[in-house]
């Protein structure tokens, strides 16, 4: 069966679909010995010899789906030009390349999903699926509910934050813990939102991503493989092509 080349590369686990397109454009991919540079080119992953930088891709890699409790002080990419600790340092015992889904800021901790399944990674991050993200946010001060209600109308990057769901989790002396669910992942979004209402975020922890909840038994820096049921839940919400409400 003929399949788009960038999908074959992503499914092999060597790169994301977007990066696969760059590899193709840059002439680093061959099919049966011929260099391919045109996006949209199709191949048969079972019959054709497909190589990247003259190395054959793995045609049927085992699919891995991992839940990580990302620690603070760690970047959620596989490499860092500044030489900081990355999540790749937490997976040196896993030989296959993993791709992070739903990245977190350097000083934000909590739930991240990693996989070598390029198709799932692409779909979970596509805006049309509107996957929810739930956080516990510790803010400085004791904001009134009327102030918190203004968060959805805050302008970031020239447009409002939009739909969100929040509740006051608890108040401790001069700080407040807020549970916040959003359906987007803009750059430093949560910090910027609370800066805008003059109650800066002191600590941010993601506790939910779509139907998945952070495993309470996972300490920062620890991970576990998703259960069969959890993987089925992810596939189900993607097949529905609709907004998932936590």
Residues identified as active-site: 105
Angle 205-219-13 (CA atoms, 0-180°, nearest 5)?
Answer: 80
Place of tokens 């990580």: 68
- Cα separation, 195 vs 41, in Å, equals 47
Nearest to 213 by CA among 141, 102, 135, 130: 135
Place of tokens 């620890």: 222
In terms of C-beta distances under 8 Å and separation of at least 24 residues, what long-range contacts does 210-219 make, across chains too? 210/124, 210/131, 210/132, 210/234, 210/237, 210/244, 210/246, 211/237, 211/244, 211/246, 212/67, 212/111, 212/113, 213/111, 214/67, 214/69, 214/110, 214/111, 215/67, 215/69, 218/67, 218/68, 218/69, 219/69
Extract the tokens encoding 219: 């300490």
CB count, 10 Å around CB of 74? 23
List CB contacts of 90: < 8 A, sequence separation 6 or more: 68, 74, 221, 223
């Amino acid at each position: 069966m003929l399949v788009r080349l960038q999908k074959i590369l992503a499914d092999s686990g060597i790169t994301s679909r977007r990066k696969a397109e760059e590899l193709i454009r840059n002439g680093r991919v061959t099919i049966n010995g011929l260099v391919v540079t045109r996006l949209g080119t199709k191949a048969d992953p079972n019959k054709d010899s497909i190589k990247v930088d003259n190395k054959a891709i793995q045609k049927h890699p085992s699919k891995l789906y991992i839940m990580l409790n990302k620690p603070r002080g760690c970047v959620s990419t596989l490499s860092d030009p500044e030489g900081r600790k990355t999540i790749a340092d937490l997976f040196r015992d896993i030989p296959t390349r993993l791709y992070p889904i739903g990245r977190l800021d350097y000083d934000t901790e909590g739930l991240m999903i990693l996989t070598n399944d390029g198709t799932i990674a692409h779909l979970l991050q596509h805006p049309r699926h509107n996957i929810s993200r739930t956080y516990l946010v510790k803010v400085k001060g004791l904001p009134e509910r009327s102030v918190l209600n203004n968060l959805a109308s805050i302008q970031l990057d020239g447009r409002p934050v939009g739909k969100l769901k929040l509740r006051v989790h608890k108040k401790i002396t001069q700080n407040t813990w807020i549970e916040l669910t959003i359906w987007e992942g803009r750059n430093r979004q949560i910090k910027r939102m609370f800066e805008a209402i003059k109650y800066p975020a002191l600590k941010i922890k993601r506790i939910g991503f779509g139907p998945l909840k952070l495993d309470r038994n996972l300490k920062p820096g620890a991970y576990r493989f998703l259960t069969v049921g959890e993987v089925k839940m992810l596939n189900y919400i993607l097949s529905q092509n609709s907004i998932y409400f936590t």
